[in-house]
Structure 1
Amino acid sequence: MHHASSSTSQANAPAAQQVSAAYNECIDRAFRIPIFLSTANSLNNVQQQFFNRLVLEIEDALLFPRTLPQSEQYPETVLTNIRRLVISSYGMLAINFRRFFVQILEANVGQPPTTTPFWQGSTFSQIEPSMAFQFGLPILLVRERGTDTTNGIWAGGITPLNIFVEWDSDNQTVDEFFGSVQWREVFANWTAEVRGNYYLRTEPQFSLQMQ
């Protein structure tokens, strides 16, 4: 009987460990503030290294990165999915990676603004931060140098916060970027804004009215 009991305990041990690991993972996430991480889905090797390091930076700051469609996906339209994720997050960090190397050959009126080839990012790098700005989320924009320099919210003077951090992927390693003073300062300021937004939105309505 003792032998059978011992065998049963050993058989149940892996299952118990799995439950414990899953439980600990839930607890770990429970202490992190959810943020919307906007990025492209198709990345080259260097971009993937940058993205992986970015996720670690976010998690080390006790924030929980959520992105479509990797971590979140609802059975709704794309824009509805984005809106739902924006509303349920407390900050937005968007990284605009180089996606397409394009050249303008012709304009509908007059001469093309430029005939020099340039890098274009993902369409959602324009849509998702814009929706986050409309909702009032703290936004941090990171751009791979040369991407969408004259296009949409990434053009000079149009950016919601009028500030973003550039990664010079041609001359700067991933470690050099994340070790730079510029990144550490901007990231620290943004995480503070995210926490401020979290505490503000989770206060009772009565407390907000009394302030």
Structure 2
Amino acid sequence: MMTNVLVAHANDVDKAAFYRKTYIHVALSILAFIGVESVMLKMVPDQLIFAMFAQRYIWLLIIGVFWLASVLATKWSLSQSRSTQYFGLGFYIILEAVIFLPLIKIATLYAGPNVIFQAAMLTIAMFAGISLVAFTSKRDFSFLRNVIIIGGFISLGLIAGGMLFGFNLGLWFSVGMVILASATILYQTSILKNAYSTNQYVGASLQLFASIMLLFWYILSILMSRRS
């Protein structure tokens, strides 16, 4: 059985081990995503990838299924069973690879592979900077929780409205989503010690990985809009 000692109540050695394992798993998740995405881009026909964007109702359904599946993956990643935790993380990585297929394909064809690399580097730099602020600042970032929840519901409403009624959300929406993703990373990093036990580093890494991918999506979208 796994222990349920909060990181905040653990000794310094266990705290350090938790943070080390969490960020190692974040890095491995990113590498796994790159590998799975590369395989999918080679194996999945272009017609099927473009079909995901061609019909807005299909894309809305895909996002709905993705949201429900991500909730399930998050639940698995926080299980008491280590194998279930890894199953949840692996399942979520595959989900992200599927949802990113159209964006990566379009970016490669119309903006060039360099834009993907630039977006990845910007995402990593922003994540590192935000994490540094969260770990070194003595400020309480718990107030961001309500901001993130409200912003999340508003963004989901706008995305659904855009798909149903066919209007483009534009550049400023992507900028707003970058800010929301950054705030989420800041909040999640600041509460790691109070939200997880020392054995829940897989679940913690999934949450951070999800926010990094959200940040990457909209940074890539912004860079692509500048190339068009």
The normalised TM-score by structure 2 is 0.26
Structure (1/2) with the larger helix percentage: 2
Task: Flag the structure with more relative contact order, 1 or 2, with Cα contacts below 8 A and sequence separation at least 6.
Answer: 2
